[in-house]
Amino acid sequence: MENGTLFYVTGASGAGKDTLCTEARSQLNGSAPVLFAHRYITRPADAGGENHVALSREEFCQRQELGLFAMSWESHGNGYGIGAEIDGWLHRGVSVVVNGSRGYLGEAARRYPEMVVIHIEADREILKKRLLRRNRETEAQIEARLSHSDTLAPVRHPNLCTLCNNDSLETSVSHFIDLLTHFVPGCRHQIRA
């Protein structure tokens, strides 16, 4: 059996990663061999945004020490993990979508050299409006987050797909689902939604 494809979704906070993953998961609803991995985060479950598994810092560290994360990183004061169960899913030929971090991309690429990177982009003003709507951080924290994002190097990977998510959610989700279900290895994709 051929292994499934790991889709590593990345982009600045507010680019729409959580929304695109949630909408695509809802629309696919088991109709394609694609699974969406939950993230384990040291953030309360009711903090808004993605449907994640909330862990205390102690629980997170315990899982790290036990090797229960396929990937884990720190960002903006929180620990983020992707469960080791994804390796079993990939081995069974199922494609897996993870909401990743640009800062962890190099390590993820070393662990999963055949993965596909889907980089979600949006204009800075759109990012700021979306982050303000989330109501999870102060305006100063949002500015710091955006400034940090501005300092990161451009995303580079042999299997890079870029999706611009400035406009219609319906169009962006359609393009996103198309990438997840019809990706052609070795083909560079630039999608302006």
In-domain check, residue 52: no
Q: What is the pLDDT of residues 2-48, one digit of tens each?
A: 899 999 999 988 889 989 999 999 999 999 999 999 999 998 777 66
Q: What is the pLDDT of residue 13?
A: 82
pLDDT at 97 over 60: yes
Considering the chain, what percentage of its residues have pLDDT values greater than 70?
Answer: 89
Percent helix, strand and coil across the chain, each to the nearest 5 = 40, 25, 35
In-domain check, residue 159: yes
pLDDT at 176 over 90: yes
In-domain check, residue 46: no
Half-sphere exposure of 105 (CA within 13 A, CB side): 21
In-domain check, residue 57: no
Total number of domains constituting the chain: 1
Residue 108: CATH number of its domain? 3.40.50.300
In-domain check, residue 30: yes
Q: What is the pLDDT of residues 45-59, one digit of tens each?
A: 776 666 788 999 999
Q: Using pLDDT thresholds of 50, 70 and 90, give the confidence band for residue 79.
A: very high
| Closest C-alpha to 136, from 15, 16, 48 | 48
Q: What is the pLDDT of residue 2?
A: 81
Q: How many residues does the chain have?
A: 193
Mean pLDDT of all residues in 109-114: 95
Q: What is the pLDDT of residues 123-139, one digit of tens each?
A: 888 888 888 887 777 88
In-domain check, residue 23: yes
In-domain check, residue 76: no
In-domain check, residue 63: no
Q: Which residue has the higher pLDDT, 119 or 2?
A: 119
Mean pLDDT of all residues in 84-111: 95
Residue-range definition of the domain harbouring residue 17: 6-37+94-192
User: HEC states along 42-66?
Assistant: CCCCCCCCCCCEECCHHHHHHHHHC
